[in-house]
Structure 1
């Protein structure tokens, strides 16, 4: 007869075994579910929205800012934020030295920003950079020299011209030696977004593997061909013309250490030094298409249309450069800043705002934006409150306007004035501009201080622009004001208005002239 103690013991053992079996089964089942939600590189998908997220707490803690792109803006920003103590991860599509035909002239205002960022040694003799002290303007065989107003600055302050790639590589090297900068080659494909907040980026590394990186703040600086700007702005990109680039060797500019602008037909021609032995020539070709280089059409165009307008001192070197055949082109773009504030991300550089490169103001705007952004972020130790940070950084878009709108408006307006036109009113405006700048004094000092980035005041730009128009009308009234001349003067004023007012509208009248009336102007840092 079996004792009841054995029966009771058997029942208890069975119950304990069943409980143990259930625990083991549920543990393995849970582990399998997690594994099912993992991708090959350890990312976990959040069930509520199907987005893959990594086990990323450690990564979020190790990176403060992800920067997409390491051109002028991205490299300078990486160095600047790292010097502020931020941990920065920079992802650049190609870390080899860039070879561009623009981004080679830094105005004095931009050089002052470079000094403020501690990067002035990136544009010195180490890359054979050349000092630039102003411009020489040519029209119909006449020329006038416009010098930068540098009297109140130290002797080192001037414009700088150089090979763009050398400048960028020097800044990348300076950023990369900082222990809190990770500079990686890779192509960013997508922003990682969760519940309207950007958490990081998806990119393919040098080996083609898909990777993800996370940070509280992502700054997109991926240049004029940005594939991410549509996620963070409402861009309206215009392409008014193309630049055709040549390098002239072993020749001297008529005015040493000056940029040269020829008011040619159909549009301007630029010359400026990029090393001690090389001069860059940029020929502006209106429209989006240029003559074919391969068929010889471009060489013929340069010889027959452009060469006769080149100053005699540069003619032979220009023809030699054309014969060598190293002719390159790129499309010029302009795009007013039109951001869509997005928590966790911000745009910077050419991905955010572009202007015609005629005046060489792009790097000045970018470096000025970096100084401003650094100063805005400086009081913040923690960047993790994305909505509060986004609200605070809306002030950035207003505070940047004095510099950016002055340079953008001047670039767009000067390009239209300097281009040849069959319209008699536009022809008179072009003549008036050359004549006004040739007067000297405030008539040349004022505009060149605006162009140089040393006097970023939109109202001064507006007044000088219409002073040119009024000067043009005055010229028409001499020796006596005939009805035909009066009508042409009226049309000149209308033409000037038609040039500048659409640009001002794109920049934003209120932000440009009355920034203190914009509520975002007064945003204070979020308090944690």
Structure 2
């Protein structure tokens, strides 16, 4: 009987919250995100390309965003010039998991074959582990083509495949060079200055310059307000000769102090990412990091992986990387645009970065498709302001979810936060609508901010119900009130 009352209370609360949230959104929508249809003010056949321009579009950087964008615009007939600092295969410990929503965008852009012939692994969901318990969460893929799933792979192999595909287009030119600055004239970006592979200082011109030079961008400062936070660092390891408890699934261990991730990146290798809160990890040189991994981390991971984990640590095969988070805060600038991690970053816990980047590319491609001429910089800049509005459903959902889940999945001495953590695990373990909704958000298959808010609210109400049943106490009521207040900190309600 108590369960029926609790469920009824949850749904009544959710419905009330939906109505309140919808009212607030509708009230502020025009004020916050004005949409102006200025497409008709951009000439599609009135201007000729300037003879001074080397291309229609210059792309700075050929990572996931830059390479995918080069192929996409090149396929649409644009003359594209890509300048990348290093065209050899990248070697990173993140950017190795593409969610199903990202794979759908890859298909939309005609790049799905870039996950072929790189020993990529299909991913069908997640497995969560906490205090000896575990639960499996499957992606809701029933209504999609059989090939639609997540993909995990070596990041560098994926990028090289996209670079190779982009370079097969005759109107796409990839060259190695280091861009030092944007060329600006009367407030308009005209192109870039860069140093070629041979050390020669050169200039390249185009009506539109798109900066995709990643999280270490030295150009973003003039195009946005960079507010980069580093909530934690990853320690990356590759485990060999072992099996995951649930093959073809990502594994998330809700450990103390923060999550540990496992997922297969090839038929023989499993990536492990250990999250360490703060901006520094224990020292590698004096053995503190190795000791931390073996004494604090190893006992918390699934038993099937412990021997391989410790063996990898003993070999010293560890790499570290700070996790960055940066909201999208652009300065609309005539002649230039930011994309990818140079523009917007979120905690990589949920593996949503590539999904956001590919979705942004699809939005931009659709906006640019009807425009033959890009030379009217001020009008084009005004027109592309709609890009920031159109990207929000996907980007804001994935960004908010990444930050919120990192906070919820991390251990805390705060009783309310610990209750939220336990409630989230148990809520997802209920299965059915309780897991399908959140997993559809995580996977990028259902990028709806309101759905995100509803499920976080439901988790909070579920947690309060657990505290108050069967007999409430003043302490439990106080913890419950604080648990509800955490919604504002986690998702901004």
TM over 0.5: yes
Alignment partner for residue 196 of structure 1, among 176, 187, 206? 187
Unpaired runs of 5+ residues, structure 1, are 1-55, 505-528
CA distance in 2, matches of 1:172, 1:295: 40
Return the match for 1:97 from 89, 99, 112.
89
Select the residue among 229, 235, 240 that pairs with 1:238.
229
Note the C-alpha offset of 1:59: 4.2
5 Å-filtered alignment, 1:105-504, equals: 105-124=97-116, 126-501=117-492
Asked if structure 2 preserves the Cα contact closer than 8 Å seen for 1:429 and 1:496, the reply is: no
CA shift at 1:494, angstroms?
1.2
SS in 2 for 1:127: coil
How far 1:260 moved relative to its partner? Answer: 0.2
- With a CA cutoff of 8 Å and minimum separation of 6, indicate the structure with the bigger relative contact order: 2
Larger Rg: 1
Establish whether residue 68 from structure 1 lines up as the match of residue 60 from structure 2.
yes
Per-residue CA distance 1:425-453 (angstroms, 9 max, x = gap): 00000000001000111110000000000
In the alignment of these two chains, the number of paired residues is 445
| Cα displacement (A) at 1:362 | 0.2
Contact 1:199 1:217 in 2 (8 A): yes
Cα distance in 1, alignment partners of residues 183 and 52 from structure 2: 15
The aligned residue for residue 58 of structure 1 is 51
Normalising by structure 1, report the TM-score: 0.83
Counterpart residue number, 2:77:
85
Deviation at 1:498, TM superposition (A): 2.0
Structure 2: runs of 5 or more not aligned? 1-48
User: In structure 2, how many angstroms separate the alpha carbons of the residues matched to 1:78 and 1:491?
Assistant: 48
TM superposition shift of 1:479: 1.7
Deviations 1:441-478 (A, max 9, x none): 11100000000000000000001011101100000011
**Distance in 1 (alpha carbons) for counterparts of 2:365 and 2:177:** 25
Separation in 2, partners of 1:497, 1:57:
51
4+ aligned runs moved over 4 Å, structure 1: none
- What is the root-mean-square deviation in Å for CA atoms of aligned residues? 0.9
Contact 1:403 1:456 in 2 (8 A): yes
Report the alpha carbon displacement of residue 57 of structure 1 after superposing the two structures with TM.
5.1
User: By how many angstroms is 1:292 displaced?
Assistant: 1.5
**For residues 56 and 69 of structure 2, what CA distance do their matches in structure 1 show?**
13
Per-residue displacement from partner, 1:223-275 (whole Å, max 9, x unpaired)? 00110111101111110000000000011100010000000000000000000
Q: Is the 8 A contact 1:109 1:452 kept in 2?
A: yes
